[in-house]
Structure 1
Amino acid sequence: MTRLLIAGGGPAGAAAACGLARAGARVTVLERSVGPTDKICGDFLSVEAQHYLARLGLDPAALGGQAIGQVRLVRGAHVVQAALPFRGLGLSRRVLDEALLHHAAALGAEVRRGETVPRLSPEIRFLATGKHDLHAAGRVLSSAPEPLVGFKTYFRLAPEQMEALAGAVEVILFADGYAGLQPVEGGRANLCLLVHRDRLARIGGSWAALLDDLRASSPHLHARLAGAAPLLARPLTIARVPYGFLHTPAPSETVFRLGDQACVTPSFSGDGMAIALHSAALAVRCHLAGHPPQHYHQHLRRDVAGPMRRAGTIQLLGRGTIGQALLFQALRLWPGLIRRIATATRIAAPAWLDG
């Protein structure tokens, strides 16, 4: 039996390893990190993401995932709140990724840590290196990535602020960007944000200056972070993310691209974790059925193109001043739109998932 190589041990790669190993395949995961690592994306798990994890045999709530049933949209001193159409969970990638890799190993997969894959080779059957490009991987972008810079860090909030945040994800709008604040395991809060690089340059380019600037412009964020203790020495950062990228397969395609190597959904209202796990489940299903990668990619495009397009529209509105004003006013008048947006930007679990 040929050994299958998976480049990348994040959620998509590790989930694919679990599915393949459980089906009796010989599989090896090549993961660049040597141990538990914080990752910049993916601390929110929708009900679809939880469904895929449960199918693999993992319970994210048992890993410490914090229940999230409300979303708050914040602009200046104003707040709109609505219930999500599902119960989400806040769980860090540090915990989830390790749990998935350990689970894959327990199912029989070989997990090799500290393995950097510099280029795409013929031996690699599944490509799941996240937002890291590989030489000769052939990821073709239809346009240049937007000039946005992402940050992520964790805080220990003051007790009264953590209590106020409990059960909710807060989306905080500001000029040239937005932030997200939510609880995760261990009594921590995850703060992530996306900002235009021009604004970052205007205030000096440092994280400390940016955080001070945002707190000065957002009474809500200022209150949330009052008395908070930062838990990382420096934030995680990322730039030039190709939001909206969706891989177009060639007839000669030889590799199953998973997660961000297949598609990068906009972060404002997208559901990257569910898409990553969906891509893994679909790729495993196609491989075991004898279908080529081209068949898988065509199927994946049909599944994710609509939700990604709608998420891109919402992200565009959420970044600009005029769009933010229109979006916020619409949601103040019709709070139920939040539920509709959350539903419209997510992929539906396929009928075969429980088959």
Structure 2
Amino acid sequence: MSGRFIIAGGGLAGAATAAGLAQAGIPVTLIERETGPADKICGEFLSHEAQASLTRLGFDVSALGGHTINQLVLARGKATITTKLPFTGLGLTRRTLDEALLAHAQSSGAIIARGLTITNVSAGDDITVDIAGQTSQTADTLFLATGKHELRGLRRDAVPPQDLVGFKMYFRLTPQNQAALAHKIALILFNDGYAGLQLVEGEQANLCLLTSRTRLQQLGGKWPALLMDLCCDSPYLAHLLAGAEELLLQPLSIYRVPYGYIHRPAASDPPHIFRLGDQAGVIPSFTGDGMAIALHSAALAVDMFTSGSGASAFHRRLSEDISGQINRAGWLYRLASMPNLQGLIFGGMQMFPASLRMAARLTRVPVKSRL
């Protein structure tokens, strides 16, 4: 196959697409704005499906030292429910995973151009990619994998963003609390959101949380005050973080994420631009499996593109594959964020812990859709 093929973005979706296309003998260039390893605001839980997608690329994720996770803890106030997951996951930082996958794509034959920022894309007979401080590039096909970041010329359809603020911080837990969290992912409910806490490689703990902007404003917009307030809400979280050391100078943060967004193909869509990962669908963190969606979108794009299918057919198929899990994850998030219903749901799950495993299955990429 001849032509000029560009991937915008070097996260999971972009790097996996680059590896897949290169392995299929297609000359592809990936453009990434970061010059080296970088932290991403992400839960960093690799499900069985995500691991399988990486294995199909010939990528040995087990060699990266991720922390195995096989239990789920749901916490509300002082109460907790613990159940086995229907699969074994891995806790692995995006800093480590993304860098290794980019190296794998490069060794597969992809060109990786780093430290370049795409400022605009224009789609006509050719696709013009404007790069800050560089000559514009033209492409026959563009794979858009810029994550949650919008790109001028290719903005996602407007979806009313929820009034949520997301934060991420790494901690070094005390040895006792590290042992208590070992092989578990904890989902901690608050009145206006939730947090996820898990171990990753290097004996670090990743705390990701979503809360309302109103709550943050009431606390003066300060991270220390927010964390203290959340620990007052959750004795379980307070216990695990007691004596912990923060490993970042400042938390990573994100605001106005369009959770629930799903790209629906339209006649006006550029015919040779494939949307991948969060550019195709945005699933609520921790109640869903965004990394598996990113990797599935990459595998599907490679499979359909190399088979001669266009972007419209790809988007229709991907929408069918991921709409159910995004909608179910959004439904779970909304229920978990309603204080009056939260107690009822939690009580029901205490009586029937197997319902937690069912929820985990329902928010994964469907078996019939996996490549």
User: What TM-score bracket applies, with the shorter chain setting the length?
Assistant: over 0.9
Residues 43, 196 of structure 2: 8 Å contact kept:
no
Residues 268, 314 of structure 1: 8 Å contact kept:
no
AA aligned to 1:225 is: L
2:50 is equivalent to residue 52 of structure 1: no
Deviation at 1:351, TM superposition (A): 7.0
AA aligned to 1:302 is: E
Deviation at 1:59, TM superposition (A): 2.2
Structure 1 match to 2:212 = 196
1:279-334 CA-partner distances (Å, limit 9, x unpaired)? 00001111101111000000001101111111111010111212321221111010
Q: Which moved more, 1:340-349 or 1:184-193?
A: 340-349
Residues 149, 197 of structure 1: 8 Å contact kept:
yes
2:185 is equivalent to residue 172 of structure 1: no
2:307 is equivalent to residue 306 of structure 1: no
Structure 2 match to 1:23 = 24
Q: Where do residues 284-303 of structure 1 align in structure 2 (5 Å cutoff)?
A: 284-303=302-321
Structure 2 match to 1:274 = 292
Inter-partner Cα distance in structure 1 for 2:344 and 2:194: 15
1:211-248 CA-partner distances (Å, limit 9, x unpaired)? 11111221111111111111000000001000000001
Q: Which moved more, 1:121-130 or 1:328-337?
A: 121-130
Secondary structure at 2:152's aligned position in 1?
A: coil
Residues 173, 240 of structure 2: 8 Å contact kept:
yes
Q: 1:262 aligns with which of 277, 280, 286?
A: 280
Q: 1:339 aligns with which of 357, 363, 368?
A: 357
Inter-partner Cα distance in structure 2 for 1:6 and 1:217: 43
Secondary structure at 1:222's aligned position in 2?
A: helix
Distance 1:214 1:334, change over 3 A: same
Q: 2:348 aligns with which of 316, 330, 346?
A: 330
Distance 1:350 1:3, change over 3 A: farther
Inter-partner Cα distance in structure 2 for 1:20 and 1:42: 27
Residues 288, 325 of structure 2: 8 Å contact kept:
yes
Which consecutive residues of structure 2, in runs of 5 or more, have no partner in the other structure?
128-138
Secondary structure at 1:61's aligned position in 2?
A: helix
Secondary structure at 1:227's aligned position in 2?
A: coil
Structure 1 match to 2:89 = 88
Deviation at 1:155, TM superposition (A): 0.3
Inter-partner Cα distance in structure 2 for 1:314 and 1:46: 18
Q: 1:221 aligns with which of 220, 223, 237?
A: 237
Structure 2 match to 1:232 = 248
Superposed structure 1 runs of 4+ greater than 4 Å apart = 349-352
Distance 1:308 1:98, change over 3 A: same
1:228-285 CA-partner distances (Å, limit 9, x unpaired)? 1110000000010000000011234320000000100122411100000000000111
Inter-partner Cα distance in structure 2 for 1:319 and 1:277: 28
1:6-57 CA-partner distances (Å, limit 9, x unpaired)? 0000000000000000000000000011100000014001100000011111
2:165 is equivalent to residue 152 of structure 1: no
CA RMSD of aligned residues (A): 1.2
Inter-partner Cα distance in structure 2 for 1:21 and 1:49: 20
Secondary structure at 2:207's aligned position in 1?
A: strand
Secondary structure at 1:324's aligned position in 2?
A: helix
Deviation at 1:348, TM superposition (A): 2.5
Inter-partner Cα distance in structure 2 for 1:250 and 1:91: 36
Inter-partner Cα distance in structure 2 for 1:4 and 1:305: 28
The percent of aligned pairs where both chains have the same amino acid is 53
Q: Where do residues 51-200 of structure 1 align in structure 2 (5 Å cutoff)?
A: 51-121=52-122, 122=127, 123=139, 125-141=142-158, 143-200=159-216
User: Normalized against structure 2, the TM-score is what?
Assistant: 0.93
Inter-partner Cα distance in structure 2 for 1:289 and 1:336: 41
Inter-partner Cα distance in structure 1 for 2:120 and 2:52: 33
Residues 268, 315 of structure 1: 8 Å contact kept:
no
AA aligned to 2:10 is: G
Structure 1 match to 2:13 = 12
Secondary structure at 2:49's aligned position in 1?
A: helix
Residues 65, 201 of structure 2: 8 Å contact kept:
yes
Distance 1:104 1:207, change over 3 A: same
Which consecutive residues of structure 1, in runs of 5 or more, have no partner in the other structure?
none
1:144-184 CA-partner distances (Å, limit 9, x unpaired)? 10000000010000000000000000011112111100000
Secondary structure at 1:343's aligned position in 2?
A: helix
2:257 is equivalent to residue 241 of structure 1: yes
- Equivalenced residue count is 352
